[in-house]
Amino acid sequence: MKYNAKEIKSRTDHMKMLAPFVDISMMLMKPKLHYDSREVLDELNKKKKWVVLFTNGAQYRILPELKKLNIEDSFDMIVSAQDLNALKPNPIGIEVILRELRCPRNKALYIGDMVNDVIMAKYANIASCAVSCGFDSYSKLKSKNPDYLFKSMEEFRKAL
C-alpha cells in the first residue's frame, strides 16, 4: 500500500487531539491483560522473537502500566509514537524500530487491535495481524484486510 499523505495527516491529526484524553482516561482505569496475552508474550520470548511495544500512549503512562501488569521485561523495546510526534497510522515508528533492530521488512509482523494498526503496517510494507479482542471489532478489522485476523489472543496463541 502506498503512503496516502492526506489520509495519514488526517488520521494523525485526529489521534493527536485524542491522545492526551486517552492517556488520562486509561490512567484512571485499571490496566488488564486480555486472556492469553501473557502466554503469547512468553511464547514469543521463548522462541527468541523480538517483541516490541509500539503505542500511541505516552511513556509516563505505559511504563507504570507494564510494571503493574508484570510484563515490562517481556519487551525488547518500547516506543511511544508521541515521543516521535508521529502517531499511528504514520509508519515512522515502524521505520525507527526496523532500523534500530536491523530487521528486514519480510521478517516483521505488526500485531494490533485497531484499524490504524493495520493501515500503519500496510504503509510500512510489513505484515499485519489484527486481534479483535481490543478496541475495534472483528468486522471493522476485517474490512482493512490484515494479513492475519484472529478473534482472540487465545486463537492467535494457538496459531503460533
Angstrom distances, CA of residue 85 to CA of 10, 18, 24, 118: 14, 13, 18, 19
Predicted local distance difference test score (pLDDT) of residue 33: 86
pLDDT at 17 over 80: no
For residue range 76-86, what is the model confidence (pLDDT) as tens digits? 999 998 888 88
The overall pTM is greater than 0.85? no
pLDDT at 27 over 90: no
Predicted local distance difference test score (pLDDT) of residue 8: 60
25, 29, 51: which is closest to 40 by C-alpha?
51
97, 95, 58, 93: which is closest to 75 by C-alpha?
97
128, 90, 94, 124: which is closest to 111 by C-alpha?
128
**Does domain 5-159 fall into CATH 1.10.630.10?**
no
pLDDT at 37 over 80: yes
* 4 vs 76, higher pLDDT: 76
Domain ranges of the chain: 5-159
